[in-house]
Amino acid sequence: MTAITLYHNPRCSKSRETLKLLESNDVTPTIIKYLDNPLSAEALSMLKQQLGLSSFREMMRTKEADYKAANLGDASVDEAQLLDAMVNNPKLVERPIAVKGEKAVIGRPPENVLALIK
């Protein structure tokens, strides 16, 4: 079985629930605390591809105060600017994200990760 990597924020309830759900299904993921070890532009681009998203905005915490303060919801903000914002402010990255092989899911709701273990 291919290992699962979990981009995790232990202070986030959904992230903790996702980890607990994986563990209750006998999966011990590799945990990356992305706030402590921010993701590079290349890693975020790979995650976007693995998630099957068309825009970085789809993997951002759009209700976050920093998102609003930076006016990232403005239609004139391009993909490069969104990516740069996530690289420089990792708390803008939606969490948790679970990855298995070439596929990834956002654990909102946590049950989304079950698609990776079936």
Of 116, 90, 118, 86, the C-alpha closest to 18 is: 116
As a whole number of angstroms, the distance between CA 40 and CA 26 comes to 30
For the question of residue 82 being annotated catalytic, the response is: no
Identity at 111, one-letter amino acid code = E
Residue 101's region, left for phi above 0, alpha for psi from -120 to 50, else beta, is: left
Kindly name the residue from 4, 6, 8, 12 that is annotated as catalytic: 12
Active-site residue list: 12
